[in-house]
């Protein structure tokens, strides 16, 4: 439970947070995330920073440049504990000079020409420069938004206490579209959201602008996130009504100077009259038609007009995200049309404006194949080459549904002619909501670095997504957001690290999980070496631990129905592909889903030699053992233990890890902010209890089938 604060404490915290005070209480549960800029504690470094950063020279005055200047002024004031002066002399010593190409004097341009070329449209250069009068630091880019991102990068160096004597940084994103997908509904509920209500106050917009919209955009800009889908993929057609578009436009105006474009989830039935009665999610739309058949001319012109209206209000509108013919959502299949026909209809009307379509591949029509994990591949691979050039197909990282661990989605590599936008999930739908401390970067890295062999060795998922394998004309990555209107944005303080890590990896997927953790810890909890090493250790093993106490050895989808928090391995009712027993297939003789070549043959969807590696019981990585194979209870695993004993061992080890995290966290009491200490401590206590429930429920259930004693609880 969240601690209830008394009124004076709330006031104090509010004051500290908003006054940017130098007082020691950093009020971490409040709004500033990793951007609260505390006084540099390392004295020699502080002196060095103060010496080198006496003057700020801002070269021009667009909205974005104002933001960059303000961020640096504020950041330097707090980090250095004193104001920097403003200057106009580009050659001044001990100055910080910021500017975009068009506003820089020739003398500087000549020196950074090459780096600017390498920085590209979105990147930036941070560079130490020798002026005739001494040294200065440049933050320069081809466009203002690059300067803003460079400013955040520079501040990060100070926040994490790096040397700034000889900087030579050129940074540019490896992926073009770096988006957060909000599953936010118009009534402000958030599908799979665990951090309060939606940030978007539709009832107040466009008249009232919540200051948090700016804070949100600022946090994203600090990571280089450049697009936001505002609404749930289970889209309410109302979002395209003029009254809502005005609200959307107000948000677009706020986000624009931060380099963030707006996208919307569109309901495929939008053109249909609301008088049409459908079941469940197939409600009528907002138009006046009786069909949304993508080949119908009236439907096409309805979309053309609607898109025209959107661009009137939002000239840089990004495009549509679409969940179609999936989980009861309407789509082209309702009219006997393909996903490509549906996507292309929207792509054609967006194309003149530079908009795109992100067409999700999360479909699992039971008629396609009895094995749910094979269905999307079977529907989409035949469509490769049939999509318009401004269409992304957007698959989730795994073939099922954001489970604690899955093998990589076989669609990656199998659609060389269709840009694939990777969809990750920040919100911990299946990983303990905002109660469990689970750092997701190691999981995302496992996927990104997985070698699909699509085009020979080295065809990692990352290199498919960033376009290097197939030469995609556009590249993208999306993360289902974990934000809400909770004071700390994400429900769990440590879930902020997942937002941070997603943004950093979207910019540069070659960063390691450790590096990202170190940055986040330094910026969010301080640079005390004990805090750094202890928290890094806690974070780095937390995902693997979660896999162990939830779904070890390749188990999957054994969570409670609907809620998706606790375990329900006995679930055996309703639709087959939503029951736990369909997935674990445990019986008295063994456990696991046979997807090898003697079973559902899901392995055939992978490239050789991955296919053979997964197919063969002895070479299949144990992380995926029960995903691909059904084995007898006394099958020997690599540890020498039987699969039953190994399951017991892993369930226990997972829970023990949470106990270690609790101990480690307790040891940090004198070193971290007291409010954070207490709130995280409370979360960890519940985390420990609930991890134990996972272990006990699953082991008790499986024991009834295996008939063997539960071991390894020492």
Q: Rank residues 376 and 591 by Cβ distance to ligand BDP and give the closer one.
A: 376
* Helices and strands: H and E segment counts in the chain: 20, 16
Q: Rank residues 362 and 651 by Cβ distance to ligand BDP and give the closer one.
A: 362
Q: Which of 71, 144, 341, 429 binds ligand BDP (CB under 6 A)?
A: 429
3-state secondary structure of 407: coil
Structure tokens at 607: 């490239």
Q: Rank residues 322 and 506 by Cβ distance to ligand BDP and give the closer one.
A: 322
Backbone φ, ψ for residue 458 (5° rounding): 90, 5
In whole angstroms, give the CA distance from residue 224 to residue 206: 26
Site string for ligand BDP, 309-328 (x = CB under 6 A): --------------x---x-
Q: CB of residue 178 vs ligand BDP: minimum separation in angstroms?
A: 19
Task: Count CB neighbours of 370 within 10 A.
Answer: 12
Q: CB of residue 426 vs ligand BDP: minimum separation in angstroms?
A: 13
Binders of ligand BDP among 482-511, rule CB under 6 A? Answer: none
Strands 124-131 and 134-141 turn out to be antiparallel
Q: Which of 76, 137, 233, 262 binds ligand BDP (CB under 6 A)?
A: 233
In whole angstroms, give the CA distance from residue 494 to residue 520: 10
Burial of 312 (0-12, 13-18, 19+ CB in 10 A): exposed
Q: CB of residue 562 vs ligand BDP: minimum separation in angstroms?
A: 8
Q: CB of residue 360 vs ligand BDP: minimum separation in angstroms?
A: 7
Site string for ligand BDP, 82-121 (x = CB under 6 A): ----------------------------------------
Identify which of 327, 385, 319 has the alpha carbon closest to the alpha carbon of residue 361: 327
CB closest to ligand BDP, residue no: 401
Binders of ligand BDP among 372-401, rule CB under 6 A? Answer: 401
In whole angstroms, give the CA distance from residue 570 to residue 558: 8
Q: CB of residue 230 vs ligand BDP: minimum separation in angstroms?
A: 16
3-state secondary structure of 675: helix
Peptide bond before residue 206 is cis, with ω within 30 degrees of 0: yes
Q: Rank residues 285 and 398 by Cβ distance to ligand BDP and give the closer one.
A: 398
- Beta bridge pairs of residue 421: 476
Binders of ligand BDP among 398-417, rule CB under 6 A? Answer: 401-402
Q: Rank residues 37 and 380 by Cβ distance to ligand BDP and give the closer one.
A: 380
Q: Rank residues 334 and 673 by Cβ distance to ligand BDP and give the closer one.
A: 334
Distances (CA, A) of 186 to 50, 182, 239, 640: 48, 11, 8, 54
Q: Report the run of H or E that residue 358 belongs to, with start and end.
A: strand 356-360
Contact (Cβ atoms closer than 8 angstroms) between residue 454 and residue 509? no
Q: CB of residue 420 vs ligand BDP: minimum separation in angstroms?
A: 16
Binding residues with ligand BDP: total (CB under 6 A): 10
In whole angstroms, give the CA distance from residue 378 to residue 357: 21
362: contact with ligand BDP by CB under 6 A: yes
Task: Count CB neighbours of 260 within 10 A.
Answer: 26
Q: CB of residue 564 vs ligand BDP: minimum separation in angstroms?
A: 6
Q: Which residue has the tokens 């106490």?
A: 549
Q: Rank residues 138 and 233 by Cβ distance to ligand BDP and give the closer one.
A: 233
Positions annotated as catalytic residues are 327, 401, 429
Q: What is the C-alpha end-to-end distance of the chain, expressed in Å?
A: 30
Q: Rank residues 362 and 447 by Cβ distance to ligand BDP and give the closer one.
A: 362
- Residues contacting residue 312 through CB under 8 Å, at least 6 positions apart: none
Peptide bond before residue 552 is cis, with ω within 30 degrees of 0: no
Site string for ligand BDP, 159-198 (x = CB under 6 A): --------------------------------xx------
Q: CB of residue 396 vs ligand BDP: minimum separation in angstroms?
A: 7
- Residues contacting residue 543 through CB under 8 Å, at least 6 positions apart: 404, 431, 438, 439, 440, 442, 443
The site for ligand BDP (CB under 6 A) is made up of 191-192, 233-234, 323, 327, 362, 401-402, 429
């Amino acid at each position: 439970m969240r601690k209830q604060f008394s009124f004076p404490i709330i006031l104090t915290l509010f004051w500290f947070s908003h006054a940017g005070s130098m007082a020691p209480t950093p009020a971490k549960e409040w709004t500033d995330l990793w951007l609260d800029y505390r006084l540099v504690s390392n004295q020699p470094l502080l002196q060095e920073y103060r010496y080198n950063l006496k003057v700020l020279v801002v070269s021009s005055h667009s909205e974005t440049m104002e933001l960059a200047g303000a961020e640096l002024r504020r950041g330097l004031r707090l980090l250095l504990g004193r104001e920097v002066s403003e200057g106009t002399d580009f050659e001044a010593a001990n100055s910080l000079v910021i500017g975009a190409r068009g506003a820089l004097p020739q003398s500087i341009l000549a020196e950074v020409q090459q780096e600017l070329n390498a920085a590209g449209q979105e990147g930036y250069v941070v560079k130490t420069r020798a002026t005739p009068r001494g040294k200065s630091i440049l933050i320069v880019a081809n466009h203002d938004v690059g300067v803003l991102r460079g400013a955040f990068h520079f501040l990060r160096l100070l926040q994490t206490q790096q040397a700034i004597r000889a900087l030579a940084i050129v940074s540019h994103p490896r992926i073009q579209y770096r988006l957060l997908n909000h599953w936010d509904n118009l009534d402000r509920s958030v599908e799979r959201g665990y951090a309060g209500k939606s940030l978007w106050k539709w009832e107040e917009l466009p008249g009232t602008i919540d200051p948090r919209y700016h804070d949100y955009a600022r946090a994203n800009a600090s990571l280089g996130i450049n697009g936001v889908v505002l609404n749930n993929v289970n889209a309410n057609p109302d979002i395209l009504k003029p009254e809502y578009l005005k609200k959307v436009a107000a948000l677009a105006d706020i986000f624009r100077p931060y380099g963030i474009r707006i996208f919307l989830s569109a309901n495929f039935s939008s053109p249909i009259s609301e008088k049409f009665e459908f079941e469940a999610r197939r409600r009528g739309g907002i138009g006046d038609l009786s069909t949304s058949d993508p080949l119908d001319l009236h439907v096409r012109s309805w979309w053309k007009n609607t898109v025209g209206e959107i661009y009137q209000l939002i000239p840089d509108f990004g495009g549509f995200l679409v969940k179609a013919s999936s989980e009861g959502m309407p789509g082209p299949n309702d009219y006997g049309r393909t996903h490509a026909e549906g996507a292309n209809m929207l792509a054609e009307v967006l194309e003149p404006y530079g908009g795109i379509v992100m067409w999700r591949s999360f479909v699992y029509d039971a008629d396609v194949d009895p094995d749910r994990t094979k269905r999307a591949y079977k529907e989409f691979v035949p469509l490769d080459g049939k999509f318009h050039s401004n269409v992304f197909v957007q698959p989730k990282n795994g073939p099922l549904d954001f489970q604690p661990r899955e093998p990589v989605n076989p669609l990656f590599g199998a659609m060389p002619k269709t840009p694939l936008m990777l969809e990750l999930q920040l919100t911990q739908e299946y990983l303990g909501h905002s109660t469990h401390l689970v750092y997701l970067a190691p999981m995302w890295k496992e996927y990104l670095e997985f070698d699909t062999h699509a085009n020979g060795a080295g065809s990692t998922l990352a290199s498919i997504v960033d376009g290097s394998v197939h030469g995609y004309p556009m590249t993208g990555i999306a993360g289902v957001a974990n934000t809400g209107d909770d004071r700390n944005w994400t429900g769990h303080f440590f879930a902020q690290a997942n937002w941070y890590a997603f943004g950093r990896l979207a910019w540069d997927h070659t960063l390691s999980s450790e590096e990202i953790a170190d940055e986040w810890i330094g910026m969010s909890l301080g640079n005390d070496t004990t805090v750094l090493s202890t928290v890094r250790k806690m974070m780095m093993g937390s995902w693997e631990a979660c896999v162990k106490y939830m779904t070890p050895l390749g188990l999957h989808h054994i969570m409670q129905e609907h809620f998706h928090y606790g375990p329900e391995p006995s679930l055996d009712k309703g639709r087959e592909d939503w029951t736990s027993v369909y997935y674990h297939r445990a019986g008295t003789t063994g456990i696991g889903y046979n997807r090898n070549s003697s079973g559902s043959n899901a392995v055939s969807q992978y490239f050789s030699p991955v296919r053979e590696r997964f197919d063969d019981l002895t070479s299949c990585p144990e992380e995926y053992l029960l995903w691909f194979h059904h084995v007898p209870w006394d099958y020997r695993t690599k540890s020498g233990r039987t699969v039953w004993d190994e399951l017991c061992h892993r369930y226990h080890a997972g829970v023990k890890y949470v106990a270690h995290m609790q101990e480690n966290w307790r040891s940090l009491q004198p070193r971290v902010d007291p409010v954070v200490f207490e709130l995280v401590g409370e979360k960890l206590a519940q985390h420990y209890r609930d991890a134990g429930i996972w272990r006990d429920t699953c082991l008790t259930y499986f024991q009834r089938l295996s008939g063997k004693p539960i071991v390894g609880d020492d």
